[in-house]
């Protein structure tokens, strides 16, 4: 099982929207059963990223995340399924 | 906790055509709307502004849209949303500038509002529905549309 982590500042707003839209993209790719999506705030994201294959995050927060082993992808428009899909798909290597 | 979007967004929490002069004032209008609807105290407004000062304008999650929020705290009396449209676009210092819609969000627990966020995400990502919401000329009309859209979601 792969894991994707969506990150925002507080863990209650933007990361949930990004999680929701990422799940939609995965459903469209037929990958929703193979891949778990979890939301986290920036304070817990570093720890949570240890078990995640991919981290989706905004430009403003990527520096605060620091170095993690996961593939980090910056998303500009959290509502754009096209942007999420085009950036995520090459990393899924199914 | 309201089960659907319109339950979390009473008419008092909707301000159409606000004219803030900068991003702090824009968040303040969204915070005042949350306070007017009984969801938060004024302190939450300060917390939302502090969140941007601390973490940057990441709350501007898509072109033109700011999702103002802070973490659950004693200043949140109940979960709620506010909806503020701006007559003049405002710069937040984000790649998604300028902002014309500020949605305020107050939550009492980190996972207690998942369904509402899910239906909100669906509506915000739907261009046709967003166009209709932008054209809404009264809070009542906006709530009517949101009720319909959140029922038709998923």
In this predicted model, what pLDDT tens digit does every residue of B66-92 receive, in sequence order? 999 998 999 999 999 999 999 999 999
Q: Residue A66: left (phi > 0), alpha (psi -120 to 50), or beta? A: left
Q: Nearest 5°: phi and psi at B139?
A: -55, -40
Which of B89-102 are b and which e, b meaning 16 or more Cβ less than 10 Å from the residue's Cβ?
ebebebebbebbbb
Q: How many domains does chain A have?
A: 1
Are A11 and A45 in contact by the 8 Å Cβ rule? The answer is: no
**Mind telling me the catalytic residues of B?**
69
Segments forming the whole domain that contains residue B82: 5-149
The answer to whether the CB atoms of A12 and B71 lie below 8 A apart is yes
Segments forming the whole domain that contains residue A71: 2-79
- Determine the pLDDT at residue B151: 81
- Determine the pLDDT at residue A66: 87
- Determine the pLDDT at residue B153: 59
Nearest to B60 by CA among A79, A25, A4, A22: A79
pLDDT bin (cut points 50, 70, 90) of residue A76 is very high
d(CA A84, CA A77): 8
d(CA B112, CA A66): 29
In a domain, A91, yes or no: no
In a domain, A63, yes or no: yes
A86 close contact with B: CB closer than 8 A: no
ipTM: 0.81
In a domain, B154, yes or no: no
Give B74's DSSP letter: T
Which pLDDT tens digit goes with each residue over B108-122?
876 667 788 888 888
A45 close contact with B: CB closer than 8 A: no
- CB-nearest to A12 from B54, B62, B107 is B107
Q: How many domains does chain B have?
A: 1
Pick the residue with more confidence: A16 or A93?
A16
Orientation angle between helical segments B114-124 and A14-28, nearest 10 degrees = 70
Q: A75 vs A39, A85, A86, B100, B136, CA distance in Å?
A: 14, 10, 11, 20, 30
3-state SS assignment for residue B89: strand
In a domain, A68, yes or no: yes
Q: Considering only alpha carbons, which residue of chain B is nearest residue A21?
A: B121
In a domain, B68, yes or no: yes
In a domain, A13, yes or no: yes
CATH code at position B11:
3.40.930.10
Mutate to test the interface with A, among B39, B60, B125 (most CBs of A within 10 A): B125
In a domain, A44, yes or no: yes
The answer to whether the CB atoms of B121 and A21 lie below 8 A apart is yes
Are B124 and B9 in contact by the 8 Å Cβ rule? The answer is: no
Nearest to A57 by CA among A36, A68, A72, A69: A72
d(CA B134, CA B116): 20
CATH code at position A32:
3.40.50.2300
Closest CA–CA distance from residue A56 to any residue of chain B (Å): 13
Judge residue B24's burial from the number of C-beta atoms within 10 Å of its C-beta, 0-12 exposed, 13-18 middle, 19 or more buried: middle
The answer to whether the CB atoms of B117 and A17 lie below 8 A apart is yes
Closest CA–CA distance from residue B80 to any residue of chain A (Å): 12
The answer to whether the CB atoms of B56 and A8 lie below 8 A apart is no
Residue numbers of B between 81 and 110 with CB closer than 8 Å to A: 94-96, 105, 107, 110
């Amino acid at each position: 099982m792969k894991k994707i982590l969506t990150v925002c500042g507080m863990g209650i707003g933007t990361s949930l929207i990004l999680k929701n839209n990422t799940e939609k993209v995965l459903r469209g790719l037929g990958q929703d059963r193979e891949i778990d999506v979890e939301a986290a705030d920036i304070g817990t994201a570093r720890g949570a990223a240890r078990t995640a294959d991919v981290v989706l995050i905004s430009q403003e927060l990527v520096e605060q995340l620091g170095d993690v082993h996961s593939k980090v992808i910056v998303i500009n428009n959290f509502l754009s399924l096209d942007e999420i899909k085009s950036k995520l798909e090459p990393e899924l290597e199914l | 906790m309201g089960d659907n979007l319109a339950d979390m967004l009473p008419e008092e929490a909707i301000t159409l055509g606000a004219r803030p002069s900068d991003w702090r004032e824009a968040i303040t209008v969204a915070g005042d709307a949350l306070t007017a609807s009984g969801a938060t105290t004024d302190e939450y407004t300060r917390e939302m502004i502090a969140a941007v000062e601390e973490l940057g304008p990441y709350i501007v999650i898509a072109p033109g849209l700011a999702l103002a929020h802070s973490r659950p705290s004693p200043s949140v009396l109940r979960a709620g949303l506010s909806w503020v449209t701006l007559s003049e676009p405002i710069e937040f210092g984000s790649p998604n500038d300028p902002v014309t819609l500020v949605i305020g969000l107050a939550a009492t627990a980190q996972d207690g509002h998942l369904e509402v966020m899910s239906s909100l995400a669906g509506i915000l990502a739907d261009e046709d529905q967003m166009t209709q919401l932008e054209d809404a000329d009264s809070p009542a009309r906006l709530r009517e549309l949101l009720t319909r859209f959140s029922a038709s979601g998923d």
